[in-house]
Structure 1
Amino acid sequence: MTETLPEAPVTGTPAPDVRPAAPRRLLVALIISELLITFALATPIVATLSLKVQEIAPDRKEQVLATVMAVGSIAALLLNPVFGHLSDRTTGRFGRRRPWITGGLLAGLPAAAVMATAHSTAQLVIGWFLAQAAYNAALAALSAVIADRVPPHQQATMSGLFGAAGFAGVVPGLVLVGLIPGSTTALFVIPSVIGALGAVLAWSLLREPAIRPGAARAARTVNLRSVLGSLLFDPRTSPAFTVVWCQRFLLQFSNALIGAYGLYFLMARLDLSVAEAAGLVSATGLVSLAGNVLAATVFGRVASRTGAYRALVVASGVLMTSAMVVKMFSASVWPVYLATTVAAVGLGAFYAVDLALVLRVMPDGGDAARYLGVFNIAKALPQTLAPVLAPALLALGSDPVGASADQNYFALFLGGAVAALLATALTPLIRHPKLVRD
């Protein structure tokens, strides 16, 4: 069976998509694959890399960990759209996406072995780079399956479930770290082994039609110019895509700006000890995770039934802005819990609809994985930029609220609030013929 790609209409209102509902096995495969990829990537970030760095470079652990994390961020930033570009042009009997998804999950296993056996910073950096390459190859193709094979009336629901799986994928890593905190080898290997087993399941469930080597679009030439071009897009020809990209960047930036300083914020504002602050971070982390998963699941279904994507983006931005304002003035425990809950619901609501929204506004032409990879840059880039800007905000004078005036957390949360508010204000600029219901 050969896939035939429909030509996008040149002018006028886009033709209605009459594809039948996606089979349940496909939806299950998408959710499980996203869960496993997040598990494999989140566990090292949460604890395993820190533990390994403590083993190999205890006297320089902060600098070494920063180097390892930076290399991983750059790899994710660049490789996701590149692998998406390659996936768009893959041909063969096994389809376009399935080889990259299963191959990426399998390739995570040797990458984990490199990290688990690392006795030097260089080896750990190489291993983490390989892991990011493997799992971003899988992620790039996985998101594109939704564009390829899930019809529009199911995409918002799938977006919500996909987002919920991404949030929930952190939980197994947290549990694993709690069960075997002293075994870095097992903490590296177990998630990758489970991911490799998941690759077998994905291969059986993500059956695709074959793509003939001469098929239109799929057989376009891959060269250095096309690969480098996969990292860019022209805002003039895709204004709605540009706005949605900027919104994701700003909301993720707002969240990343304060994420790394949660422990220090609680110690400064609430005058807590390290142990007390760590306990509160764990408790609020669980609240945040529950809010993320619940909001992503619920609002994905709401968006699917109502088509109110832009309205939910506005609601999400307002909630995240409000959470930042509450934390600006927080000096006790309960406002912190309130702000955490509001922010979790807001972020979960956004990730419930942003994938479905971008699928409607991104340029046509058979480059779904490439554009989704570019869209993923808006999520990865803030994680690199926010830690650079945060110290500058913290150094702006003294904190007018906290007991300790050494770091200005008021300014830090004000920066987060401004970013979230700006993202919300961009919503009226999202205009596209496929958005007709809100």
Structure 2
Amino acid sequence: MGAASQWWLHHSLQALQSMLREGGANLQLRKGDTLRVLRHVIDSSGAEAVYWNRRYEPAAIEHDKQIEQALLEQDVAVHSYSASLWCEPWRAQTKQGEPYRVFTPFWRHVRPGLRVTSPLPQPAGVNWVQLPVGLPLEALGLLPRIHWDKGLGEAWSPGELGAKEALELFCDDALAEYATARDLPGRHGTSRLSPHLHFGEISPTQVLHALHEHAQRIDTRRRPDIEPYLRELGWREFAYHLLYHFPRTPMECFNPRFADFPWAADDEGQLERWRRGRTGIPLVDAGMRELWHTGWMHNRVRMIVASLLTKNLRQPWLHGARWFWDTLVDADLANNTLGWQWVAGCGADAAPYFRIFNPISQAQKFDPQGVYLRRWLPELAEVPLDLLHEPWKDSSIPKRTGYPLPMLDLASSREQALRVFQAWRR
């Protein structure tokens, strides 16, 4: 688990602890081998059954299977449930009985099966079993030793209540314009529910119910179309579908033809400038600084920073995937893998390698007034709009502001990437 995810987990457990105490219970925190700890808790409590929600990462599946078998051999009942997906990976297959490799037919299969169901009420009158005091939360050592996480605390409220607040804000403020506003990094146009979904603080089924209820309360002439957002959640389902059926993809290209693709030699200097938002390309730098400060990056900007790394710099997509894994609060093995391989052109249903995003035209189109750029690049806050997207056009700006000159020429690096791709393909 990356540093940003560990930060989130600490505060999510803290929020869960508070909610349980309100209901007269204590959150038991233990550390060690999972099966050994579970057996100790079972013996201490006299429990006859263990319940959990299923996970779908390859290592987690194998881990949980082993625990289930061991508990059954101990005559402890085991009950597992689907809580984080609408459609579990093994339930969707083509007419030929194969897993889906393209999103659109996958979504055509899954979408008709979605059912709007009301969440169950919180249980009341539970008789909690008192167990010996467990570890304090701090003993898990999840918080960073270097206090770089101030921005995360300002940007997020981990926990179930934070998830509900984010969902309500999205419904009230952004859902009606989601189809177009989701591409504008300078405004609140997305749900920002991804970390809450990843950590199980809210489920896709709860989100579907909330969106449906919100839409029904609005006059039919102004009723928002919830389908564009549901389709985005469908991509999340597709990512887990792929991870389950193709478990080697977090380390290997989904498209086997890319196994010998001639990526450029590792360049730590270039990588470090990219990581720190010092490339000299404003939209890329703004995205990387947003990531470092908040543990999150707008989805369109994620595609653009990934394109620069894998196409213009021709660095292997795994370098980017690993950095996102460490710095994203919503770091999710399925989504992270799908997203990076999609941009790099080597994934399932991927954008072709020759599709190379131009960060300048993308910024001019989706951040035309420079709201996003000025927010995350304070040294350029006073630069006139006609130079904001290309500050190097005025030689005095880098000297005056300290903002770096571009580390590469976008046009020539694009041409070089295409030449390499064409030669490799031949």
Task: Give TM class, smaller chain.
Answer: under 0.3
Higher share of residues assigned helix:
1
Question: Which structure's relative contact order is higher, taking Cα pairs within 8 Å and 6+ residues apart?
Answer: 1
If you compute each CA radius of gyration, which structure gives the higher value, 1 or 2? 2
TM-score, normalised with respect to structure 1: 0.26
